[in-house]
Amino acid sequence: MPDLNDIKVKRILKKINSKYEPIYIPVVSESYALLNECFPNVEKKVKLDGGSIVFGWQIWKTPLICEAEFHGIWKSHDGNLLDITPKNPHVESILFIQDDNVLYNGAQIDNIRINNTDNPLVNDIIDIHKALFRIRNKGDRAFVYKSTLKGEEARVYRNLESFGSILQNYIYQGGQINAHCFCGSGYLYTDCHRRELDSLILRSKSF
Ligand SMILES: [Zn+2]
């Protein structure tokens, strides 16, 4: 569970810039609730039990990235807040900050991510996440939870995904922007596969 005094958590909260205070919310999932699909889950809960939906951000940390995901929780008539959406793996509670600045219209909203390390190479992973989101949610696809990609878009998407997992392993093994590239060419990453990443990201913007 992310610590409110953690410097990276403070930075991501600053980025969100909400007037509310971050709070820990218990996770008590409903039997009908689907994994990660918070908005339809809470909508159903409101129909069955009343109350309302509260929009905001769920915050967590992985070894490389500190992340905020746009999220909906349930507020009861008497003001109790509950996260009714199951997670995998299960957690007892989440760190959440309400935010009224983002208008949710059914279109997917990308996570906010910051580098959780001192290694600038992690920023390349963050750029890959942005590019994947861009492709996955282009045009009308933004309104579809899981969309199917075809042709060149699917190819670039797969390449970005596998680049991301190779890069992650490279970082865990001590990889740096100015160290020898993971491919074994003998060139520095920045003069080798970094260029391939740049062209994949450029492609993701061209669709
Ligand atoms: Zn290379």
Mark whether 131 and 84 lie in a shared domain. no
187 Cα–ligand 1 center, Å: 7
Range of the domain at 73: 7-98
What angle separates helix 122-136 from helix 193-206, to the nearest 10 degrees?
Answer: 20
Q: Which residue has the higher pLDDT, 104 or 196?
A: 196
Tell me the pLDDT tens digit for each residue of 31-83: 999 998 999 999 999 999 999 999 999 999 999 999 999 999 999 999 999 99
Mark whether 11 and 94 lie in a shared domain. yes
Tell me the pLDDT tens digit for each residue of 99-155: 999 888 889 999 999 999 999 999 999 999 999 999 999 988 888 877 789 999 999
131 contacts: CB under 8 Å, gap ≥ 6: 160, 200, 201, 204, 205
Give me the pLDDT at residue 21, please: 96
203 Cα–ligand 1 center, Å: 19
119 contacts: CB under 8 Å, gap ≥ 6: 171, 175, 176
In a domain, 108, yes or no: no
181/194 Cα distance (integer angstroms): 9
Q: Which residue has the higher pLDDT, 1 or 152?
A: 152
Distance of CA 31 to the CA centre of its chain: 25
Mark whether 90 and 158 lie in a shared domain. no
Give me the pLDDT at residue 147, please: 76
123 Cα–ligand 1 center, Å: 17
Q: Is the dihedral of CA 21, 22, 28, 29 positive or negative?
A: positive
161 Cα–ligand 1 center, Å: 16
Q: Which residues surround ligand 1, an ion (CB under 5 A)?
A: 181, 183, 185, 192-193
Which residue, of 49, 65, 98, is where some domain finishes?
98
Phi-psi group of 6: left, alpha or beta (phi > 0 → left; psi -120 to 50 → alpha; rest → beta)? beta
Which residue, of 31, 63, 98, is where some domain finishes?
98
Mark whether 60 and 135 lie in a shared domain. no
Distance of CA 199 to the CA centre of its chain: 23
Q: Could you give the number of structural domains in the chain? A: 2
90 Cα–ligand 1 center, Å: 38
Beta-bridge partners for 67: 60, 113
- Name the CA radius of gyration of the chain, rounded: 19
